[in-house]
Amino acid sequence: MKLLLTSLTLLLLAGCASGPRIDRSHSSVNQDGRVQFVVLHYTNASQDQSLDLLTKGEVSSHYLIGSEPATIFQLVDENRRAWHAGESEWQGRTWLNSSSIGIEIVNKGYDDTPNGRLWYPYSEAQYQSLAALLKDIIKRNNIEPRNIIGHSDIAPLRKLDPGPLFPWKRLAQEGIGIWPNDQAVARQKMRFDFNPPSAAWYQQQLARFGYAIAQTGEFDVTTHHVIAAFQMHFRPERFDGQPDAQTAAILQVLNGMR
């Protein structure tokens, strides 16, 4: 009986070995990588709390950049999905967990004080770690510069991170992300000073850039939130959500950088 079982096992293995062969000599040109976006966050917690939350809680990210020292912790393999974006949309793609790499940075975010909201800066060491990590991710995944985005860009109705002190302009100067040319913005601003654009124009241009925004033709609550998110990214000195000539000029210039 033992000999019979051994013979049957060998026959089964032989059958598997002679099964259908997979031919990998033809590759479609119609494909790209899973990772299309990098989403940046602050943790609003200490380093120990952040590590605990991101490894044991209901949220996760691919990377965490610490505080002192600014260690880069990899918490999720890039080939796997991390739960950092939540309900989100950018350039018409929804639920960006499936198509993005999430990077959390240890930062308290902000405190509301009697003198107004106090935002916490990022350290130089954190910046250097983040810049090095982003350059590596962008190169390996061939990510478009405009797809280096903040949590507030993909979820403007509910998120503020990475906040107005995040160094978007400095990163763009190193080839990470995009930033408008100051002279081009000044020229466009003169145009919009005399001819302010409509709500429909803002909604169309914000959607073209990547934001999820309904085309209502009205300066409704959602539109003000999306304008504020755009301003916090590209004009962080004032992000009140109010449409103005400078905001329109920045948006016009950025949409011309395709």
Cα within 13 Å of Cα(69), Cβ side: 5
Please report where in the chains the tokens 């925004």 appear, as a residue.
213
Please report where in the chains the tokens 């959390």 appear, as a residue.
104
Give the chain's count of helices (H) and strands (E): 9, 9
224 burial class (0-12, 13-18, 19+ CB within 10 angstroms)?
middle
68 included as an active-site residue: no
Q: Which residues pair with 37 in a beta bridge?
A: 100
Q: How far is residue 245's CA from residue 251's CA, in Å, rounded to a whole number? A: 10
Active-site entry in 104, 124, 218, 237: 104
Q: Which residues are catalytic?
A: 104
